[in-house]
Amino acid sequence: MRLACRDPRLKTALGEADIIGINAKTIWEDDMKTITRTAALGLMLASTAAMAQEVPGPQVNWSFSMWGNPRALSDGMEAIADRVKEATNGNFNIEIFYGGQLSGSRENLDGLQLNAFEGASSCNFYHPGKNPAWMVFSLPFLPLGDPKVDKYVRSKMFENPAIVADMAAWNAIPYMSGLLPQYEILGKGDAPLELSDWTGLRVRAGGGLGSAMEVLGATKQTLPAGETATAFQRGALDAAAFPYTYAHVAFGISEEADWFTSNLAPGTSECGWVINKTAYEALPEQYQTLLMDLRDMGMDVEQAAYAAQDEKNLPVFRETMQEIVYTDAQLAEFREKAGKPVWDAWIAENQDKFDAQGVFDAIFTYADEAAAQ
């Protein structure tokens, strides 16, 4: 266990936001735009020589639906849209519409099924019943803490038959993972240095992570993200899990917390990009190839944006909060005691709907492959 020093906390003015969508107008948002656009430019310039060639083809205009404001989660797709337009000399255009202009976050799959638009960001936790196999991405303590492993595993999983079938039911094709960072937990009061210290803590955590917290004896809270900082101020909450580190800053959680976990990696979710199957199949082959070849670059842009925020935020976290770094033995205990029961329950609940055991096992198989590379 390693503990970092604590000093008086810095104050940052941040407005309210909704979950992961981050509707707040913040200094963070302005910095993110600069960082991610710079990252996107660098990665686009480093794209393959094959894609540097102009791709001939007809005029095609696509619309994508995205909830919330432009941010790291959408910058990869924006970079792809820019590259597609450039490579086709302006003949293939992808425009992303934000803030629910085309569809609400919970209705994006419905819009794709109705051919209302050609692509969308789809978050599994908004509609578990619509994408039951995709809920594997929300299970706690999966071996996805390393960004390189995470990228490899999710790319492979987007080809998994059950993952593909979930989207096929909505006339959609899995395109590119949103690669949401692993969650970490920030809290007030005494730091939970051992597993037993989580007992009785009121923790804002949803999905599989919320279930894992309950297994540890914590009380799961599911309040909206924009109300979390206020709940801390009122003494109604002890800890909160968010994508690390950018969301903790965007929601003002880092201003209220006394401690943070930095290597627990208890889980995340999937807010991936999916495209309309009818529209994709109508594209000329060269446009299809271009789109698929650009996925790797798009994911690199996403991860570069998240990493840039960590580089900015972590020094502040370490100056203003107590850092909890769990040992390998403790992390193994977390997985065994809080992860495995949730895994087993999810498999049992879904085994009659699809090959839940196979989907779950694939995560670990691909993680081992990535680690061996």
Same domain, 66 and 149: yes
Q: What angle do CA 118, 285, 166 make, to 5 degrees?
A: 45
Res 27 pLDDT > 80: no
315 or 9: whose pLDDT is higher?
A: 315
Domains contained in the chain, number: 2
Q: Determine contact, residues 57/300, Cβ cutoff 8 Å.
A: no
Of 306, 321, 356, the residue at which a domain comes to its end is 306
Question: Does residue 165 lie within any of the structural domains?
Answer: yes
Q: Determine contact, residues 248/158, Cβ cutoff 8 Å.
A: no
Of 254, 278, 306, the residue at which a domain comes to its end is 306
Indicate the pLDDT class of residue 138, thresholds 50, 70 and 90.
Answer: very high
Indicate the pLDDT class of residue 222, thresholds 50, 70 and 90.
Answer: confident
Res 216 pLDDT > 50: yes
Indicate the pLDDT class of residue 95, thresholds 50, 70 and 90.
Answer: very high
Residue 30: what pLDDT? 46
Same domain, 228 and 87: no
Give the CATH number, domain containing residue 79: 3.40.190.170
pLDDT, mean over the chain: 88
Domain that holds residue 218: 183-267+313-372
Of 251, 279, 306, the residue at which a domain comes to its end is 306
Residue 246: what pLDDT? 85
Res 26 pLDDT > 50: no
Question: Does residue 35 lie within any of the structural domains?
Answer: no
Same domain, 64 and 106: yes
Question: Among 213, 210, 186, which residue's Cα sits nearest to residue 200?
Answer: 213
Give the tens place of pLDDT for each residue, 31-40. Answer: 444 444 455 5
